[in-house]
Amino acid sequence: MRKVPLIILLFTSLTATHAQRVLSLDSCRALALHNNKQINISRLQQDVAMNAKKAMRTNYLPKVDVLGGYQYMSRETSVLNNTLKSTISNLGTTGMQHLGSALSGISSQITELVQQGVISAQQAQQLGALMQKIGNGPIAQHIGAVGNSIGEKIVDAFRTDTRNIFAGSIMLRQPIYMGGAITAANRMADISEQMADDDLNLKTQATLYDIDQAYWTVVSLRQKQKLAISYRDLVKKLNGDVHKMIKEGVATRADGLKVDVKVNEADMQITQVDDGLSLAKMLLCQLCGLPMNEEIVLLDEESENLNASAIQASTYIPDSTLSSRPEIRLLQNTVELSKENTKLVRSAYLPHVALTGGYMVTNPNMFNGFQKKFSGVWNVGVLIQVPIWNWFESSYKIRASKSASNIAKMQLSEAQEKINLQIAQSRYKVSEAQKRLAMAEKNIISAEENLRCAQVGFREGVMETTDVMAAQTAWQKAQSQKIDAEVDVKLSNVNLQKALGILN
């Protein structure tokens, strides 16, 4: 029957272990790089820069636009004025009036011919009757009507009927020379894409640096947690021995109280370390993109030796420009970008040449008189723009752009000097951390031997309780210094890699 609770306990332990996520340093880095929002933003910025670069390349190619429109006008355009319209519309009537006036003049001439005896009175009467028939008879009315009709047709032919206007066109524009603006803009797009890559590299290194710091902090606190438990066990064992000695009368109650205080201090240290470890794991989960309350176990938590030997970063020698640092590359890109911006500013004040062409249709159109149908025409041309005078605006803007380039160069030089100093400091810290670790390992040997001698002396009755507690405290301090030294070697090497720009 006792086997059943044991099986249940074993199953519960296996279930709890299975629920915990075991993470190594590499897996923490991978999770952070995948889930970090700033890195994901930089990846999207890379996509933005790439598409902006592709869009800028299209400026070398011809652009084709199609336009179309409709417009209603309240009045139509008129080629003839109102007086002229009235005169032409009454062309037949006016003509017959002029014909009547002419016939009246002929009648007076016929009278003179009769008086002169050229024609007889009977002939003159016949001519008068004929002219009267021509001027006022049906023939005259018919000729007047025909003339008026012709005049109205002429007026109608001159109507534009522009109240409803339809128009459409297709246009082509091909830049030939734009003062170098297109080349400069494309070069700026290339630099912007490179800056997006460098920004991603910068945020990646910053994320890896934070992950390494958080990871080794958790490992350090876990090692100190185990150390605190071991120290408490030592103090509790001493506490038990002292209380036995008090019962036997070979130790005083004051000795027991001193040991009790040490036990309480050891318990408090465990509580503080537990709280610090929980907070450190929450921070690590947050950096990895995991729920902060998720149970995680780090691969190096239970390692007795953290293998704190530094990698060969201390022997890496960067180039003179420190281009391995993404910050330097970003400043170099800024300098190049300012130079291209100067070219872009200058191009606005140089001649521009462009080829244009297209086809335009309108309704009504005037290509064959006024016609209410669509008709169009092709056109090809060259557009040239030459700035002549701008009150030295171009000189001022170019000087301002060059000054911005000089500022960027100075910032780059200053950053290179500071990074050189940072690299030197990081190298010293790596060397110092390695020496501190070597000293801590030696101190561990001395502290363990001191504790052993104190415990033996206490059992033999030749050493006091305070001597044993002092030896235990020294042992704990030496162990804690060793843990700090091992983690410090790891972190100082990470600092050096970040300073060199090779943290990946």
List pLDDT tens digits, range 391-439. 999 999 999 999 999 999 999 999 999 999 999 999 999 999 999 999 9
**Selection from 321, 340, 347 nearest residue 404 by Cα:** 340
**Structure letter (DSSP) for residue 78:** B
| Longest alpha-carbon distance in the chain | 191
Confidence of residue 74 (pLDDT cuts 50, 70, 90): confident
pLDDT in tens, 354-390: 999 999 999 888 787 777 889 899 999 999 999 999 9
255's CB contacts (< 8 A; 6+ apart) are: 242, 245, 246, 464, 465
Residue 7 has pLDDT above 60, yes or no: no
The mean pLDDT of 223-228, rounded to a whole number, is 92
Residue 129 has a pLDDT of 63
Residue 313 has pLDDT above 70, yes or no: no
Q: Which residue has the tokens 């301090």?
A: 477
Residue 417: enclosing H or E segment and its boundaries?
helix 393-460
Give the separation between CA 469 and CA 450, rounded to whole angstroms: 11
Q: Which of 55-64, 427-436, 452-461, 486-495 has the lowest mean pLDDT?
A: 452-461
Give the separation between CA 360 and CA 379, rounded to whole angstroms: 8
**Selection from 148, 158, 142 nearest residue 89 by Cα:** 148
State both tokens at 454: 């104190």
Give the separation between CA 329 and CA 307, rounded to whole angstroms: 34
pLDDT in tens, 332-357: 999 999 999 999 999 999 999 999 99
Q: Which of 24-33, 39-48, 94-103, 485-494 has the lowest mean pLDDT?
A: 94-103
Residue 151 has pLDDT above 90, yes or no: no
Residue 466 has pLDDT above 90, yes or no: no
Residues 350, 180 contacting (CB under 8 angstroms) = yes
144's CB contacts (< 8 A; 6+ apart) are: 92, 93, 95, 96
Instruction: Tell which wins on pLDDT, 118 or 395.
Output: 395
Phi and psi angles of residue 158, each rounded to the nearest 5 degrees, phi first:
-90, 0
Confidence of residue 118 (pLDDT cuts 50, 70, 90): low
Residue 27 has pLDDT above 70, yes or no: yes
Give the separation between CA 481 and CA 441, rounded to whole angstroms: 9
pLDDT in tens, 290-311: 998 899 999 988 877 776 554 5
Q: Which of 7-11, 41-45, 259-263, 339-343 has the lowest mean pLDDT?
A: 7-11
Residue 150 has a pLDDT of 80
Residue 311 has a pLDDT of 52
Using only C-alpha atoms, what is the Rg of the chain?
Answer: 52
State both tokens at 358: 């297209």
The mean pLDDT of 94-117, rounded to a whole number, is 63
Confidence of residue 108 (pLDDT cuts 50, 70, 90): low
Residue 2 has a pLDDT of 39
Q: Which of 49-63, 81-95, 226-240, 477-491 has the lowest mean pLDDT?
A: 81-95
Residue 254 has a pLDDT of 86
Q: What is the mean pLDDT of the chain?
A: 85
| Chain centroid to CA 143 | 84
Confidence of residue 462 (pLDDT cuts 50, 70, 90): confident
Residue 1 has a pLDDT of 38
Residue 133 has a pLDDT of 59
Residue 168 has pLDDT above 60, yes or no: yes
The mean pLDDT of 167-194, rounded to a whole number, is 94
